[in-house]
Structures are given as structure tokens and as C-alpha cells.
Amino acid sequence: MILSLVRLELAILRRDRRAWWSLLALAALVLLSFGAIASQAHRANAEKQAVSAAERARWVGQGEKDPHSAAHYSIFAFKPSPALAPLDPGVEPFVGQSVWLEAHHQNDMLYRPQQNASLLQRIGFASPSALITGFGPLIIFLLAFTLVAQDRERGTMRLALGAAVHPRAIVMSKAVAVWSAAAGLLVVPVTLAALAWAVLGGALGADLFWRALVWTGIMASYLALLSAVGIALSLWLGNARLALTGLFGLWILFALALPRVASGTVEAARPLPSSQAVRQQLAEEAPTFWSDEQAARNRALLLRRHGVSRIEDIPNPRMAELDLMERHSHAVFDRVLGGFYAKVASQDRLFATLGFLSPTIAAQAASASAAGTDFSHHRDFIDVAERYRRDLVNRMNSDGMAHRAHGAERHTNDQSLWSQVPTFAYPPPALGNGSSSALPAYAALLAWLVAAAILLAIVSRRLRP
Amino acid sequence: MTAPRFVDLFAWEWRRTGRSPLLWSVFLIIASSFVWGAVNTAALHSAQEAAIERARQAERDWEASTRERARAYHAPISAGAGEVAYWQDPTDVAGYSEYFVRRWALKPHLALSPLASGVSDLAPTRLEIKLNTLFGFGDTYDFENPRGLALGRFDLAFAIVFLLPIGLLLLFALLVTFERDRGMLRLVAAQAVGPRSWTGARVLAILAWAIPVVLAAMTGALVLAGVPLAQATAPLLTALTATLLYMLFWTGIALVVLARQPGAGAALGSFAAIWAALTIGLPLAGSAVAGLLDPAPSAVAYVDVQRRVSDEVQAERDLILARAFAARPDLRRHSDRVGTLDYATRLSFLIPETERRLTPFKAPIEAHRERQEEIAGAAAYLLPTLGLEAAFATLAGTDPARQRAFESQARDFQLDLRRRVHPLVQREITRPAPALPRTMRGRLNLPEPLTLPAFVFQEPAQSDRLARVLPFAAWLGLLAGLAGTLGLSRMREWRVS
């Protein structure tokens, strides 16, 4: 019976041109934005692969030189665009795509795609996830209003309830109709498009499949809870105008105001130190070019460590000092930058927790995490690249320290050493390994879903013809 | 039956509307969002100003430390303190040029900056200037949580551009359609009043409450955010005028929709569709079309080019230096020194050559950026939402044009520093190396660190900013007038069956 009721409600929805065409327009925008982001990501990934190969060739073919000079030459590492970024690019447009892995520096990741975006590009940047989480509520509330509130105003609801054995079946069929129309047009086509895109690009693996499934589940749950809230409020509020005002207000609150307010609140509650302060601290504690006074302290330390009294007794004192400062800088980077990134994660965790205030916040945080495009995934790339840099620089310095060089003497090496450094490769973290900061968002989404179902059940139980 | 005078109708509607709890609820929400937006942006800019001040202090400290070390290295070599390496020695002009010349180019915020965050959350307000960084400064930014950047900042411009129209349209949709939804429109139509006067009086009554409240809330929010009004009178008045015209524009749109005399549901549905089209649909389509017609040059490809050119320059190093020496009468006689120059001295020749070779690849990136800004400027006339956001950013001094001016001046500043320092570095080539071992710790070919100028941002005139905003404001006024006229002209007859 429910199925035939759902079919009937869907037919009513399709007859209401205003609501139905709004849904179709949003579905078209979702696919348009998917296409735009997917084609950009494809082009960017192809370029990154080509330039990464060129970087490797340059590294191996850099010729004979001092290993520390080779560590300065080093390579640029490029972050591949996550396979599900076309569904939800998350932080990708606002984080660097490349990092120079040179000696002494844990460089910032550079070349943020939106760094020099015009206002049109910034306002006009929309992703499937942003469109569904931002405008999905408006469309769903409009659909729910169409099915319930107007039905009540016309008096047809009273007739239907009077004839029904189980009023709950009527209410459920309306909610399911709204949800299936929204999910069927907004979520399913774009997920299928993402999977097809992955198949065409040879990127479809188990992890990507599960991520796509989780993303679909998140969006479907979000639309389901909105459908339940829309139907429940339309039934609960006395008249159509009041229902419409309430639903419109709820959309503004949930989708437009609270996410940005929450973001601002998080910044105020857990402020990040400024980049200026972080860089200054790094420059003071781990300088790239240290003073003569620091060099004197380094010499004393090296003599103690090598158990000798003359610098001439250390095989390659220059390289030993470079290695000393390099390893010192690792500890500083771990403490200063590690602490900084931990604060960013803490901000993201608080933002995800604020998903209990608005389901849109919960859906946004969970969506980026499932797509592998939140900051915790970006941090994973930063850490992998930094480990590679340290291995590379340490290997170069170790080679230098193993060979005697004093005064004007210089030890050099060649391709035989450079080719021992493995090619840089970045395996993205598997689902569940990268996003602990988003866990509260999943919990919040679940709580919203349960609350919406309870609300719908209570409202349908109170229904009287 | 005589028709009531419009003034009487308006006065009655004004009193009645003023008693609506909905009206004051909407105003309260709008005013709160204004305050939150302005204070939120002021907090960001205040943190950036603090970082600017710390950078100034760091620059002063660095200069003092350089002078102190230069003085210390005037001492004779002793058993415990030997020759200072050239890269640690500020008395060696080559070492000084590469390792000690550091200046900050700083872009302070304007008094009205809390009006709009513009590009201030993405673009840097501080650029570290060193002599040998390519093209003035490296790609850099102040880290803001990228999740927040992706979401967009809740600034005053967002509240005015996006939330204010929703509030206004909600009021129009619910307060003007009341009689239609209650089935009382026939009674109204039976009176001696036409739909134009009746709807016009009510819309005007809502506006008569909304305009002063919104403009006062906007001013109050800016005051609470710490804007010194006396220093920002002209841009503030322009921003208030633009906001007023924006409200009139949306009123015109509302009149076009309300001319069909719909119920609240139909009116809100139409308003939501128009609002969504202007705020997201058309910008999304416009941005996609602009991206397709004029795709951005690849930053990844630029990294590749930079590496290739750098390798080429290194491979041709001696040849480039030999050519440079041959072209300079003062250096021609010293071509034998080409192979013995230190790293910093070599850079004074190689960096300009690297920049010359990279310019054909760098210039298209800058040209694309300028073209995209021009496209956005033109699109602002088609999309008043984008236009107002851009106008606010211009008035607040957080617009891309001011950022570009800042970056251009930073590059000029670097070239000025090079003109001052590089000749001193290259002059050393003509001086024969001392035959005897050094007796002093420092090289002392630059006894005192130079007194180099500090960067001062040449602020474009305020009148320029106003002049850039006024054409859009006039256009907005014209659009508002056209939409309003169209809406009123369609309200000839009652549509009741």
C-alpha cells in the first residue's frame, strides 16, 4: 500500500511545476558543477603526473655534485586531486597543490587553486555537495510544503485521514516521496557519474567504491531527515503561511546562517596563531642560515658527540654540522608546525561537533571526510611529503658525513646515489584512517536522523481527521 | 465611492505594518547578522594588523641584530674567534646582499575594512622582500582554516548581499499576500482602490520601516566593529547609498512578482528561485563559461618551467656571466674572475637573467588574472549580487585591484633595493682579492650595513575607489527603477475570480 501511496504522491509532485522544476534545475546544477570540477581535476592530475615524472628525471640526472647541494635541489612533490573531489572538493581549492622538499625547510604547500580567484570565480564556485547541502533544504521544504500544507488548506488532507486506516502510512508515503524524488535526482545520478568517471580513469578501487557509498549514505540521510522535518513541520504548524514561514526560516538558519556562524565561532573559540608568528618562531628556533655564534656552539657540540678535541678529527665537519642543524629543525617543525596543524584539526573537530546545531554542518563535515577532501586528508599528504623530505636529506647528509672533506676539499656523488632515493609516491589514506576530526559530524547526522524520525512519528500519531 | 488618497493609504499601512511582530523579528535577525558579520571581519583584520605590527618589529630587530654583528666582526681574529664565513658576515657585501637584506612589504587595512572581507582572507597582507627572490616575492599566504575559506566568511557584505534580500522578500511575500491567502482579496478589490495603490502603499510602508532600520543597523554594526566613522565618511555614505539602491532593486523585483497577486507560497517560491539564480545559479554558470573560454594557465606547468629555466641558467652560468662582463666596460678587464665569484655575487647576474627567461611564462598568468578580474567587473553589471559584493570590497580596501597594486609596489620596491645593493656587490669584482690572510673577523668591504628604505604602500586615492563604485551604484539605481516601473505598470487590475 505504501508503495502505491508513494507513487501517487510523486505524481502530485510532478504536477506542481514550480516545485518539480526547481528540483530539476538544482539536479542540473549539481551535474554541471560535477562536470566542471571533474574536468579540471582530470587536467590537473595529468599535469601533476607529467611534471612529477620530469622532476624524477631531473633529480636522477642532476649530475655530479655535493650531496647537500643535491638535497637543496631536491624535488617538487605534487598532491594528486582526490578521486571523489568532483563530488565534494572540500578544502582542495584552498590548499596548496605542490611543495618543494628542500633541505632545512618544511616549506608551505603552494599554488592554491583559488589563490588569485576573481570575485566571480569565488562566488561561482559550487560543488555537488555544496549545492545539495545548501539548497537541498530549500527544495525539499518546497516539495514537502506542496504535498502537505496545501493539501491541508484545500481540505483534501482531512478527507484522506478520515478514510485511512493508518494515518501514519499517509505521512510516511509523503516523506518517502519527497526523499526519493530528492535523492533520486540530486544524489544518485551524481554518484553514478562519479563512479563512471572513476572507471573511465582507471581509478575505481574498493576504497573509492566504499567512499562513494558512504558519501551517498551521508547525502541520502541528510535529505531523508530534511524530508521528515519538512513533512512534520508542514503537518504540525497550523496553516500554510505559517508552515511556509517556518520552513523558509529553517532553511536560512540551517543552511545559510549557522554553517558560517559556526565557522566564525570556531575561529573565535580556538584561534590559530598567525602565519607570521609561526614563521617567525621557525626562523628563530630553526634558522636556515645560522650565525657564526651558533656555528661555534655547533662545533663544540660536534666535538663532544664525536669524542674528539679537534675539528680536524671529524671526517666531514661541514656535513656533520649541516646534519646536526637539520635534525634539530625536525624537532622544531614537529613541535611548532605539528602543534599548529593539531589546532586546525581541533577547530575542525569543534566545527563537526556543532553539527548537532544544524544538520547542514554535520553533512558538510561528513561529506568532505568521506570524499577524502577535508584537512585531515590534506595533513596526511603534508606528513608523507615531509617524511620523504627528511629521508632524502638525511640520506644525502649521511653520504657526505661518511666521506672525508676538510677545508677546500669537497665530497661529491652522482646518479648512483640519487637513484637510491625512491620515487615520491602518495597513497591516500584508506577510508576511516584519515578523518577522526569528522567523527562528531557522523554522530550528529545520525542524531538528527533519529530526531527527525521521532518528530515525524509524533506528529503523525497526533494527526486527527 | 471616492478612492482614498495614496498618502492616507500609505500612512494607514505604515502604522499597521509597524505593529507586525514579523517585521521586527526580521529586522532583529538582520541587525544581529550585520553586527556578527562586521565584528567577525574586524577580528580577522585586527589579527592581520597585529601580524603586520609584529613583522615591523621583527624587521627592526633583524636590522639591529645585523648592525650588532657587523660591529662584533670588526674585531681581530683570535684563537677562539676566527674568520666569519661570508654567508654569516654582514660586513661582506656579497653575504650581506643575499643573507641580510630582508624587508617587509606591508599592506595595512583601511578604516572601513570591516565592511567586507573581500580577498583579505586569501591574499597576503605581508610580503617578505629579499633581493634575489624571483619577481619580488614567493607565492605565499597567511594560513586560514581552508574549511572556513571554502565555506565563506560571514562578513557584513555577506549579510547585506545574501541575507538582507531574503529578509525583505520574506516580508513582502508574507505581508503583501495576507489578504489573498485569507480569501479577503475580493473584499479589497470591491473597494475604490486599485491594486497599484494598494500594493504600492504596503510595499512602500514596509520600505519606510526597512530603509532607516537597515541603514542604521549597518552603521551601528560598523561602529561596534570599531570603524572610526570620521575617517571613513565618504566611503561609508557610498556604501549606505549602494545598500539603499540594492534594497530598491529587490523591491522592484518583488513588485514584478507581486504584480501577479500571488499567494504567499507562490510569491516565496518565485522569490527563492530569483534569489538562488542571482546568488548561485548565474555566478556558477558565468564562472564556468569564463573558465571554459579563458582557462587559467597551469601553476603546475609553471613549476616545471621554473625548474627547467633554473637548470638552464645554472648550466650556462659561466657563459651568462662572461656575456655580462663583456657588456660592462668596468668588468670587461676582469673576465678571469667569472669562475671564482661567490654564490651571492653570481646571483646578482643570474637572477635578472632567470627572470628575463621566465617572463614569457609568468606574464600570461598575470594577464589571465587581470582578464578574470575584468570579466568579474563586467559580470557585476549583470549580477547585482556580485556587483554589490565587489563594490563593498572596493570601499573596504579588500578588493583584488588594491591587492594587485600592493604586489606591484612590492616588486618595484625589490627592484629599488637591487639598484641600491647590486652595484656595491658587483663593484667588488673589480677589486683584487687581498693577497695576505685576513686579520679581522669580518671581510669589512661593507663596514656598516646599509640604511635601506622601508616599504611604504602608496595608497590609491580614496576618490579612485569611489569613482570605481559610483557607475555600478548608478546602474543599480537604474535597474531598481526599471524593475519597479515594470512591476507597477503590471498592476492595473485586480486578479480575483
Q: Is A202 exposed, middle or buried (0-12, 13-18, 19+ CB in 10 A)?
A: exposed
Who among A36, A289, A348 is closest to B288 (CB)? A36
Lowest mean pLDDT among A88-97, B424-433, B457-466: B424-433
B89: contact with A, CB 8 A cutoff: yes
Instruction: Indicate whether A366 belongs to any domain.
Output: yes
Chain B: closest CA distance from residue A126 (Å): 7
Q: DSSP 3-state assignment of B138?
A: coil
Contact B174 A245 (CB under 8 A): yes
Q: Write out the H or E segment, with its range, that includes residue B156.
A: helix B156-158
Who among B58, B148, B291 is closest to A263 (CB)? B148
What pLDDT score was predicted for residue A147? 87
Q: Give percent of chain A above pLDDT 70.
A: 96
Contact A25 B283 (CB under 8 A): no
Reading the block at residue B51, the C-alpha cell is 601580524
B145: contact with A, CB 8 A cutoff: yes
What pLDDT score was predicted for residue A407? 79
Contact A276 B299 (CB under 8 A): no
CB-side neighbour CA atoms (13 Å) of B312:
12
Q: Is A74 left (phi over 0), alpha (psi -120 to 50) or beta?
A: left
Residue A220 structural domain? 2-408+428-462
For B66, name the nearest residue in chain A, comparing CA atoms only: A291
Question: Residue A228 above 80 pLDDT?
Answer: yes
- Distance of alpha carbon A259 from alpha carbon B162, whole angstroms: 14
Tell me which chain B residues have a C-beta less than 8 angstroms from the C-beta of A109: none
- Distance of alpha carbon A20 from alpha carbon A63, whole angstroms: 66
Q: How confident is the model at residue A203 (pLDDT cuts 50, 70, 90)?
A: confident
Question: Residue A13 above 90 pLDDT?
Answer: no
Instruction: Indicate whether A332 belongs to any domain.
Output: yes
**CB atoms inside a 10 Å sphere around CB B38:** 27
Name residue B266's amino acid.
A
Who among A244, A268, A374 is closest to B43 (CB)? A268
- Distance of alpha carbon B135 from alpha carbon A218, whole angstroms: 46
pTM: 0.93
For A131, name the nearest residue in chain B, comparing CA atoms only: B280
Q: Is B419 exposed, middle or buried (0-12, 13-18, 19+ CB in 10 A)?
A: exposed
Q: Which residue, among A71, A291, A428, has the nearest Cα to B100 in the 3D structure?
A: A291
Tell me which chain A residues have a C-beta less than 8 angstroms from the C-beta of B50: 274
Q: Give percent of chain B above pLDDT 70.
A: 99
Contact B385 A149 (CB under 8 A): no
Per-chain mean pLDDT for chain B: 93
Could you read off the pLDDT of B244-276 as tens digits, one per residue? 999 999 999 999 999 988 888 888 888 988 998
Instruction: Indicate whether A416 belongs to any domain.
Output: no
Who among A19, A149, A292 is closest to B85 (CB)? A292
Cα end-to-end distance, chain A, whole Å: 20
B33: contact with A, CB 8 A cutoff: yes
B40: contact with A, CB 8 A cutoff: yes
A223, A179 contact by CB (below 8 A): yes
Question: Residue B146 above 70 pLDDT?
Answer: yes
- Distance of alpha carbon A66 from alpha carbon B424, whole angstroms: 30
Placement of cell 548565474 in the chain: B282
Contact B272 A248 (CB under 8 A): yes
Reading the block at residue B53, the C-alpha cell is 605590527
Instruction: Indicate whether A423 belongs to any domain.
Output: no
Instruction: Indicate whether A354 belongs to any domain.
Output: yes
Where helices occur in B177-194 by DSSP H, the ranges are: 178-181, 185-189
Domain count, chain A: 1
Q: Is A350 left (phi over 0), alpha (psi -120 to 50) or beta?
A: alpha
Instruction: Indicate whether A58 belongs to any domain.
Output: yes
Q: Is B328 exposed, middle or buried (0-12, 13-18, 19+ CB in 10 A)?
A: middle
Enumerate the β-bridge partners of residue A98.
Answer: A78, A110
Contact B174 A241 (CB under 8 A): yes
Who among B43, B54, B144 is closest to A280 (CB)? B54
Tell me which chain A residues have a C-beta less than 8 angstroms from the C-beta of B33: 257
Instruction: Indicate whether A295 belongs to any domain.
Output: yes
A74, A389 contact by CB (below 8 A): yes
- Distance of alpha carbon B397 from alpha carbon B62, whole angstroms: 30
Placement of cell 604602500 in the chain: B457
Could you read off the pLDDT of B9-61 as tens digits, one per residue? 999 999 999 999 999 999 999 999 999 999 999 999 999 999 999 999 999 99
Who among A55, A260, A374 is closest to B151 (CB)? A260
| Residue from B164, B284, B366, B468 to probe the interface with A (highest A Cβ count within 10 Å) | B284
- Distance of alpha carbon B175 from alpha carbon A462, whole angstroms: 31
For A100, name the nearest residue in chain B, comparing CA atoms only: B303
Could you read off the pLDDT of A120-152 as tens digits, one per residue? 998 888 899 999 999 999 999 999 988 887 677
For B314, name the nearest residue in chain A, comparing CA atoms only: A62
Task: Return all residues near A423 (Cβ < 8 A) that are at least 6 apart.
Answer: A56
Q: Which residue, among B241, B33, B295, has the nearest Cα to B153 in the 3D structure?
A: B33
B312: contact with A, CB 8 A cutoff: no
Question: CA B389 → CA A75, B44, B172, B396, B473, distances in Å?
Answer: 41, 18, 23, 10, 12
Could you read off the pLDDT of B206-243 as tens digits, one per residue? 999 999 999 999 999 999 999 999 999 999 999 999 99
Who among B33, B51, B304 is closest to A276 (CB)? B51
Question: Residue A154 above 80 pLDDT?
Answer: no
B151: contact with A, CB 8 A cutoff: yes
**Angle at A341 (CA atoms; ends A340, A345), nearest 5 degrees:** 120
Tell me which chain A residues have a C-beta less than 8 angstroms from the C-beta of B311: 58
Contact B265 A240 (CB under 8 A): yes
B283: contact with A, CB 8 A cutoff: yes
B58: contact with A, CB 8 A cutoff: yes
Q: DSSP 3-state assignment of A100?
A: strand
- Distance of alpha carbon B411 from alpha carbon B117, whole angstroms: 24
Chain A: closest CA distance from residue B39 (Å): 10
Contact A126 B280 (CB under 8 A): yes
Who among B88, B270, B290 is closest to A120 (CB)? B290
B28, B216 contact by CB (below 8 A): no
**DSSP letters spanning A416-463:** HHHTTSPPP--PPPPTTSS-GGGHHHHHHHHHHHHHHHHHHHHHHHH-
Q: DSSP 3-state assignment of B40?
A: helix
- Distance of alpha carbon B439 from alpha carbon B445, whole angstroms: 13
Q: Is B321 exposed, middle or buried (0-12, 13-18, 19+ CB in 10 A)?
A: buried
- Distance of alpha carbon B317 from alpha carbon B323, whole angstroms: 10
Instruction: Indicate whether A444 belongs to any domain.
Output: yes
What pLDDT score was predicted for residue A164? 62
Chain B: closest CA distance from residue A264 (Å): 7
**DSSP letters spanning A142-182:** HHHIIIIIHHHHHTHHHHHHHH-S-HHHHHHHHHHHHHHHH
B61: contact with A, CB 8 A cutoff: no
Task: Return all residues near A12 (Cβ < 8 A) that are at least 6 apart.
Answer: A146, A147
| Residue from B29, B151, B164 to probe the interface with A (highest A Cβ count within 10 Å) | B151
Contact B147 A347 (CB under 8 A): yes
Q: DSSP 3-state assignment of B37?
A: helix
B367: contact with A, CB 8 A cutoff: no
Q: What are phi and psi of A75, to 5 degrees?
A: -140, 160
CB-side neighbour CA atoms (13 Å) of A317:
20
What pLDDT score was predicted for residue B177? 87
Contact B269 A142 (CB under 8 A): yes
For B290, name the nearest residue in chain A, comparing CA atoms only: A121
- Total length of chain A: 465
Lowest mean pLDDT among A328-337, A362-371, B108-117, B285-294: B285-294
Question: Residue A160 above 90 pLDDT?
Answer: no
B55: contact with A, CB 8 A cutoff: yes
Tell me which chain A residues have a C-beta less than 8 angstroms from the C-beta of B264: 240-241, 244-245
Q: How confident is the model at residue B200 (pLDDT cuts 50, 70, 90)?
A: very high
Return the DSSP state at B134.
G
Q: Which residue, among B278, B263, B69, B189, has the nearest Cα to B497 in the 3D structure?
A: B189
